[in-house]
Amino acid sequence: KIEDTSVKEEKELSKWLNKTEEDLKSFYGQPDKVEFLDTNNRNYVYIFKKYKIKCERKFEVNSRNIVIGFSSKNCF
């Protein structure tokens, strides 16, 4: 069952690839945290709580303000 939700989460987040930073922010709002990477890219970190479990989604945005990657932890 966890496997199913992981696949669903992955599929949902992959829709954001090649979208703009503006699209991301208009959907999720301002990120909880922005991490600046050595590559001049940045991670927009969104933190949600569900059933006292902290879900963390990170979207990597490049210098052209395009989403090029993502990761998700404890989200279901």
| Digit-coded pLDDT (tens) for 22-36 | 999 999 999 999 999
Query: pTM for this one?
Result: 0.89
Provide the pLDDT for residue 50.
Answer: 80
Query: Considering the chain, what is the average pLDDT of its residues?
Result: 92
Whether 67 and 61 have beta carbons less than 8 Å apart is answered as yes
Residue bearing tokens 């590559």: 39
Whether 68 and 62 have beta carbons less than 8 Å apart is answered as yes
What's the DSSP call for residue 34?
Answer: E
pLDDT at 3 over 90: no
| Digit-coded pLDDT (tens) for 47-65 | 998 888 899 999 999 999 9
